[in-house]
Structure 1
Amino acid sequence: MSYSYLFKYIIIGDTGVGKSCLLLQFTDKRFQPVHDLTIGVEFGARLIGIDNNPIKLQIWDTAGQESFRSITRSYYRGAAGALLVYDITRRETFNHLTSWLEDARQHANANMTVMLIGNKCDLAHRRAVSTEEGEQFAKEHGLVFMEASAKTAQNVEEAFISTAAKIYKKIQDGVIDISNESYGIKLGHQTGAGLSGGRDGSASQAGSCCG
């Protein structure tokens, strides 16, 4: 299989917001209700199409715990896109977004596309953060916003693909220099494995849900 471009993504946010679950739903089309705690980073990949161009998304799922923040920071470098995730049922995960965003802006390239995701919208009856608050935060910080559910798959596909579409448009508009690898984009080449999605290189530890 071949692809035109490879985009590197990073998924960030507090522990337990469902980062690993979002990745698994996107790459494997399944939901795992009890998920091992992510230690360091895990990895997933999938091939998508934009404007009839096959694009490989290489997605790094990071640990949310404070003790892993230094490891997470090293993955901002060379990321074309970031999915910043909070849990709509846990107000503190929304309150911490500013800190995550500061990290991203400090360690990533200025043209990184950031998608804000309010996860677990299937739990609307337990909502602690309104959709309007999410929209307002995104507007203030120049982010794309979407509420999603890793459990029901609502908007999961759309979140990953619309982020890729934004990155693709930046390439077309000449905003991103694809010869500079710090932008997290590589020109495609022939390859025979790893495009159907899946996770490898993971290290995990039991004991948490949707780390």
Structure 2
Amino acid sequence: MTQKEKTTKPLLKMLLIGNSQVGKSCLLKMFCDHEFSFDVISTVGVDFRNMERDFDGETWDTAGQEKFRTITSNYYRNAQGVAVVYDVTNEESFNQVNVWFEEIKKNSPEYISTVLLGNKVDLEDERVITKEQGENLAKKNNCQYFEVSAKSGANVDSAFNKLMNSSYEKLKKFGKPKNSNTVNFQKGKEKKSCC
């Protein structure tokens, strides 16, 4: 594969959002590298990861993004999928989920794919949010719910693969937002932009 072919692959951009310390970086590491570390340093701003996935026989790059509210809303507008993460052992992180969904609604195309992830299910003895509460909140926000563990890897691949597949399907149906200047998904070529 030539360097030019590598740079023209379509890009799916995924955001992981949620309160601090819910395990977003650990989930990203588990999904991308299939490993867990207690030594993950708190991310300030954005953690960017690339991986390649095959959709309908085409190879696509998928970019993982970690997003905090202080980052520009452009990260939402140019994303195809968002995973909202909370910690099942932390009620405050669960209570903030609706705030994160409001951010998505305010800044994203209406057809963006979303999933709700209840992380740290390996800490069952410390759980304060039930599975039913998570399912009800996901239903309220019209998305799928997954209980995951960044430590054990439980359901991590399933959750992210569902998000990516849903994002890809919606992308084929609706196309890239007009305000984007990154990739033409129909032909896999870069768009020209004046700004």
Query: After the TM superposition, which parts of structure 1 deviate over 6 Å for at least 4 consecutive aligned residues?
Result: none
TM-score by length of 1: 0.78
- The percentage of counterpart residues that share the same residue type is 34
Structure 1 residues 179, 89: CA separation in 2 closer, same or farther (over 3 Å shift)?
A: closer
- The reply on whether 1:109 has 2:139 as its aligned counterpart is no
2-structure distance, mates of 1:184, 1:37: 29
Q: Whole-Å Cα distance in 1 between the matches of residues 45 and 98 of structure 2?
A: 21
TM-superposed CA distance for 1:103, in Å, is: 0.9
User: In the alignment, is the contact (CA less than 8 A) between 1:7 and 1:184 conserved in 2?
Assistant: no
User: For this pair of structures, how many residues does the alignment match?
Assistant: 182
Contact kept, 8 Å, 2:80 with 2:171, in 1: the verdict is no
Q: d(CA) in 1 for partners of 2:181 and 2:142?
A: 18
- Corresponding residue to 1:51 among 51, 56, 67: 56
Q: 2:109–2:177: 8 Å Cα contact kept in structure 1?
A: no
For residues 43-192 of structure 1, the aligned pairs below 5 Å read 43-63=48-68, 69-71=69-71, 73-172=73-172, 174=173, 176-178=174-176, 180=178, 182=180, 186-187=184-185, 188=188
Bigger relative CO (Cα 8 Å, ≥ 6 apart) = 1
Give 1:19's aligned residue. Answer: 24
Q: Given that residues 79 and 183 in structure 1 are in contact (C-alpha distance below 8 angstroms), is that contact kept between their aligned partners in structure 2?
A: no
Unaligned runs of 5+ in 1: 64-68, 190-211
Per-residue CA distance 1:87-127 (angstroms, 9 max, x = gap): 00111100000111111110111111111000011111211
- Superposed CA RMSD: 2.2
Change (3 A) 1:15 1:185: farther
Letter in 1 for 2:24: K
